[in-house]
Homo-oligomer: A and B are copies of this chain.
Amino acid sequence: MAISTLGYALLGLLAREPLSGLDLTRALQQRVAYFWHARHSQVYPELARLEAAGLVAHTVVPQRDRPDKKVYRPTEGGLQALREWVAAPTDLPSIRDELVLKVASFWLIEPEQAAARLLEQARLHEERLALYESFERDVRAQDGGELADPGSPAFATYLTLQRGLGYEREYADWCRTAAAQIARGATRNVAADGSLDID
């Protein structure tokens, strides 16, 4: 019974600090959303599978003002499985990007609409970028000293953050450049047949 990628994602988070299912779900929807994502309906069953396989164990932690929670931590076997997976080569990911899929058919719609969609998308990516930049400030402030040590979790976090930042910057830039190219093309066509205008 092989471990799923989601299983390794959970092990990777638990290797840093013990967490409950809800904590893990929150991480997978916020902190870590730029490289892995899952819902709670995936997290709880996966934790049960990992525990059945002896890779994590939980303790029930009573809380004063909230319901009890199950806090999971990796077993020695779980950590070992994680290390082996982390050290193994990785295939190129297969990409599925709905926006780019739409852009491939932008020749079917009005250039004005196409450009507007791209600018809209650019704003969304810039919002995320701002969020990641605030993460970056947090990391620098909290873990400044460890950021040069490849053996520290903070260093690894910093590397992945750089990827998130680079990804969002590149994406937003592409959106704006593409929108501009559409506008330029549409304007040029106006000059040719004098029937359209761009704002």
Q: Which residues of A come within 8 Å of B, CB atoms?
A: 5, 8-9, 12, 15, 32-37, 79, 82-83, 85-87, 89-109, 111, 113-114, 117, 120-121, 124-125, 128, 148-153, 155-157, 159-160, 162-163, 166-167, 169-170, 173-174, 177-178, 181-182, 184-186, 188-189
Q: Which of A34, A102, A173 has the most CB of B within 10 A?
A: A102
Instruction: Please determine whether B97 and A35 come into contact, CB atoms closer than 8 angstroms.
Output: yes
Among B124, B163, B181, contact of A174 (Cβ-Cβ < 8 Å): B163
Instruction: Please determine whether B178 and A108 come into contact, CB atoms closer than 8 angstroms.
Output: no
**Chain A interface, >50% SS class:** helix
| A163–B171 CA distance with the chains assembled, in angstroms | 8
Among B15, B162, B177, B178, contact of A178 (Cβ-Cβ < 8 Å): B162
Given A92-B125, A105-B156, A149-B185, output 20 extra A-B contacts at Cβ < 8 Å: A12-B101, A35-B104, A36-B96, A37-B96, A79-B108, A90-B121, A92-B124, A93-B96, A93-B97, A93-B98, A93-B99, A103-B160, A107-B152, A107-B155, A111-B151, A148-B185, A155-B185, A159-B181, A162-B174, A169-B170
Residue of chain B at shortest CB distance from A118:
B159
Residue of chain B at shortest CB distance from A148:
B185
| A101–B170 CA distance with the chains assembled, in angstroms | 20
Instruction: Please determine whether A104 and B151 come into contact, CB atoms closer than 8 angstroms.
Output: no
| A95–B159 CA distance with the chains assembled, in angstroms | 17
Instruction: Please determine whether A185 and B150 come into contact, CB atoms closer than 8 angstroms.
Output: yes
Residue of chain B at shortest CB distance from A34:
B95
Instruction: Please determine whether B101 and A5 come into contact, CB atoms closer than 8 angstroms.
Output: yes
Instruction: Please determine whether B186 and A36 come into contact, CB atoms closer than 8 angstroms.
Output: no
Instruction: Please determine whether A174 and B185 come into contact, CB atoms closer than 8 angstroms.
Output: no
Residue of chain B at shortest CB distance from A32:
B104
For residue A186, which residues in chain B have a CB less than 8 angstroms away from its CB? 150
Listed by A's residue number, 27 A-B pairs whose Cβ atoms lie within 8 Å are A5-B96, A15-B108, A33-B94, A33-B95, A35-B97, A36-B97, A37-B94, A37-B96, A83-B109, A86-B108, A87-B113, A90-B98, A92-B124, A103-B156, A103-B160, A104-B160, A107-B151, A107-B155, A107-B156, A148-B185, A150-B186, A151-B189, A162-B174, A162-B178, A163-B178, A166-B170, A166-B174
